Structures are given as structure tokens and as C-alpha cells.
A and B are shown apart, each in its own frame.
Chain A
Amino acid sequence: MDRKRPAKGTSNRPPRNTDKADLVEKRRELLETYFENGRQIASELVAELDAARRKLSELEAENARLRMQLKSDAAIRDLLNKIETLEGERRELLSRTNEVEEKARNEVERATAVENELSNLASLYVATSQLHASLDLRDVVATLGQLLLQFVGAGAYVVYSAEGDKLVPVATEGLPADQVVDERIGRGAVGKAFESSAPFTLAMGAGEGPLVVVPLRVGEQNVGAVAVFELLEQKRELDVFDHELLRMVSSQGASALAAARFSAAANGTIPPWSSTDR
């Protein structure tokens, strides 16, 4: 065993009271220092623990936030998917709506066309039935005039009857008397159109002549003509339906006039069936 030697500068003499007091003091200081250090370390540990707890709390909060964010992102993804699906459905519905609207437009157009056609047919029916409603020559001529005025929109016209080589005016409207004269068959706009095989002849170019001439034809025989010189103020031009009316005037007007003339020649009596050469 090592024998402890006294420290240099010390002696083996017993400690004096002052030394003992120093030692006590030193021990007290040492203990104080020790406890002070311990307190400091404990204090630091507590502070660190608090900081760690705060950090933990922060991390937990962050964690919770991130979890929420994750959930939120998933919800957003779901919503985006739903939006995309809905957009697709919307596009499809729009497409279908456009198709339906297009069909509806077509139906309306067709219905309008049918209505117009029905109106035109009604006009033709009314005009034809009126032309044949009487065998009185004056009635037939008046009806022909009303047809030209009210259905065709003729503001100025002349109805001619074929008499030999002339066309003689038998009814007129809207023209001064000096313009209503006999026309020679085969000459002038009216005379030439009378001989034409066409149901009506439209005027070519500007001039004082008629706008349209309609030969009145029964079978192969021309019995007269109608010449339209002016249209009513509100009637700008003859359209496709007017052409139909003029064709009807050419055939039905002619037969109505011919029947009325036969009737007039027979004093309004209709001969018995047995007397007719069938």
C-alpha cells in the first residue's frame, strides 16, 4: 500500500482550529458549488425538457396539419375527378341539347314550310273554286280580276278575249283608258305571248309593256289572255307561288271563261246530256 506522504509545504502537525474552520468553509463552498452546479444542470435539463416538449408539440401539430393536408389533397383530387366527370356530362348534355335544338329548328322550319304550302294550296283551291262557281260571264271576269288583284297582287291588269285576229279587252283595272286597247295576235308583247305555248311570259327588260302575259288556254285552244302591267305598291315581285297562280289562271281561268261564254251563247241554259255529242 502506498503510504501517503504529506503534501509539500505541509507538516504533520495536528490541524489547528483555523485550519479546521477553513476546511469546513471549503467543504461548504464545495458543496454549494456542487449543488449550484447541480441546480444549474437540473435547470438546464428542465429548460431542455420544456424545449423538447414544445418541439414535440410543434411536431405533433405539424404532423396533424400534414395529415389534414393529405386528407385535403385527397378530397381535392376526388373533387377534381368529380369536376372532370361533371364537365364530361355537361359537354355531353350540351351536345345533346344542341342536337335537340337543331332538330327543333328543323321541325319548326318544316312546320313553317308546310303551313306556307297549305296556305298556298288553300289560295289555289279558293281561287279555282271561285272561278268555277258561276257560269255568268260577268261574274267569271270579275272573279278573274279579283284573283289577279287580291291573290297575285296585280295593281293594273287587262283581261283580253280572243276575237278573230285580235285580243279585245273585256276587263281592266288600274290603267288609263287610252292604254286599254285591242292587241293584234302575233304582234307586240301581248300578241306574241298569246301565241306562246308557255303558261306565262315574264317581261324582259324595262319598258311600258306588261310585266307578265298569261295566255288563257283550254286544251290546245287559246281563248284570251291576261296582261299584268303593275303590281300593288306592297308587292315587290312575283314569287314562285305567283307563278303557280298564273299557271292556274292560264288553265282554269280559260276554262271558266269558255264555259261562261258557252253558257251565254246558250242563254244560260245547260243542254240536256242526250243532246251532247259524246
Chain B
Amino acid sequence: MMRQLLVFALARIKVLKVVEADDGVDALRKLTTAKFDLIITDINMPVLDGLKLVKKIRSDEVHKDVPIMIVTTEGSAEDRQRALQLGANAYITKPIQAPQVIAKVKELLKLP
């Protein structure tokens, strides 16, 4: 459900092409098929959670420097701290507002 809303929000940035993944493992698989400019992930996901995904991406030679944005219901300072320590670049808590997501994505991608 949140994915749909994110896709809607990201569609407002015309230059983006969005690729969706069902979970962390699916995301890793898709990361092998192309070079991405930004990765947005939840923390609570089946099979491979978002924090483990961040860790794996940061150890991947191709995508280790790609900005990662976490969108999650986990709003505690500890969760945020942990995600940022693992290498996430931005941390947004749900419920989200599309303008907030758009602004953060533009900031990470250095878009006008």
C-alpha cells in the first residue's frame, strides 16, 4: 500500500524511472540488473528486512555509494540512529506526505 503511494509521489518527479521490488531479496536481485541512483526501502519487510538490505547494499561494489532512503513506521531515535549508522542517507517515518518524500528525494539526487 505504501509502495503505491511512494510510486505516485515519485511520479511527480518527471526524470525518475521507478523500479519496484516486493521485498529485500527481490530488491537485491533487481540491483544486479541495473545501476540505480537511489534506493528507497522500508524496514519491516518479509524475507530480508530493510536494515539488512542497507548493510548488503553498502558492501556491494556497484551500489555502495548510492543514496538510500528509509521510509518506515519505526520512529524511535534508536531506530533512526541505527539505520543511519548502517549507511542510510535519509530516514522518513510514516505516515508520509508526498511533498515530504519528493523534497527528500530531490535533495538526495541533487535535483532542482
Instruction: Find the residue from A123, A130, A151 having the highest chain B CB count within 10 A.
Output: A123
Contacts of A116 in B (CB 8 A): 97, 99
Binds A, one of B2-10, B29-37, B50-58: B2-10
Is A126 interfacial (CB-CB < 8 Å)? yes
Q: Let me know if B98 and A119 touch, CB within 8 A.
A: yes
The interface bits of chain B over 1-33 (1 if a CB of A lies within 8 angstroms of the residue's CB, else 0) are 110110011000000000000000000000000
Contacts of B99 in A (CB 8 A): 112, 115-116, 119
Contacts of A112 in B (CB 8 A): 99
Q: Which of B1, B8, B9, B76 contacts A150 (CB 8 A)?
A: B1
Is B46 interfacial (CB-CB < 8 Å)? no
Is A65 interfacial (CB-CB < 8 Å)? no
Binds B, one of A19-27, A141-149, A217-225: A141-149
Instruction: Report Cα–Cα, A206/B1, bound state, in Å.
Output: 32
Q: Let me know if B93 and A126 touch, CB within 8 A.
A: no
Q: Let me know if A126 and B73 touch, CB within 8 A.
A: no
The minimal Cβ–Cβ distance linking A148 to chain B, given in whole angstroms, is 10
Is A254 interfacial (CB-CB < 8 Å)? no
Q: Let me know if A122 and B97 touch, CB within 8 A.
A: no
Is A77 interfacial (CB-CB < 8 Å)? no
Please give me the residue from chain B that is nearest to A125 by CB atom.
Answer: B8
Please give me the residue from chain B that is nearest to A153 by CB atom.
Answer: B95
The minimal Cβ–Cβ distance linking A26 to chain B, given in whole angstroms, is 118
The minimal Cβ–Cβ distance linking B93 to chain A, given in whole angstroms, is 4
The interface bits of chain A over 225-242 (1 if a CB of B lies within 8 angstroms of the residue's CB, else 0) are 000000011110000000
> How many residues of chain A get a CB closer than 8 Å to chain B's CBs?
24
Contacts of A119 in B (CB 8 A): 9, 97-99
Query: Which parts of A117-168 form the interface with B (CB within 8 Å)?
Result: 118-119, 122-123, 126-127, 129-130, 143, 146-147, 149-153, 155
Q: Let me know if A151 and B76 touch, CB within 8 A.
A: no
Query: Which parts of B71-112 form the interface with A (CB within 8 Å)?
Result: 73, 75-76, 93-95, 97-99
Contacts of B75 in A (CB 8 A): 232-235
Please give me the residue from chain A that is nearest to B95 by CB atom.
Answer: A153
Q: Which of A130, A153, A233 contacts B76 (CB 8 A)?
A: A233
Please give me the residue from chain B that is nearest to A120 by CB atom.
Answer: B97
Query: A119-B9, A150-B73, A233-B76 are contacts. A126–B1 as well, Cβ < 8 Å?
Result: yes
Contacts of A155 in B (CB 8 A): 73
Q: Which of B1, B95, B97, B98 contacts A143 (CB 8 A)?
A: B1
Query: A122-B5, A122-B8, A123-B5 are contacts. A150–B94 as well, Cβ < 8 Å?
Result: yes
Identify the 5 closest CB pairs spanning chains A and B, nearest first.
Answer: A234-B75, A119-B98, A233-B75, A234-B93, A126-B4
19 inter-chain pairs at a CB distance below 8 angstroms, sorted by A residue, are: A116-B99, A118-B98, A119-B9, A119-B97, A119-B98, A126-B4, A130-B1, A143-B1, A146-B1, A147-B1, A150-B95, A151-B94, A152-B95, A153-B73, A153-B94, A232-B93, A234-B75, A234-B93, A235-B95
User: Besides the contacts A146-B2, A151-B94, what 6 more A-B pairs have beta carbons closer than 8 Å?
Assistant: A116-B99, A126-B4, A151-B1, A232-B73, A232-B93, A235-B95
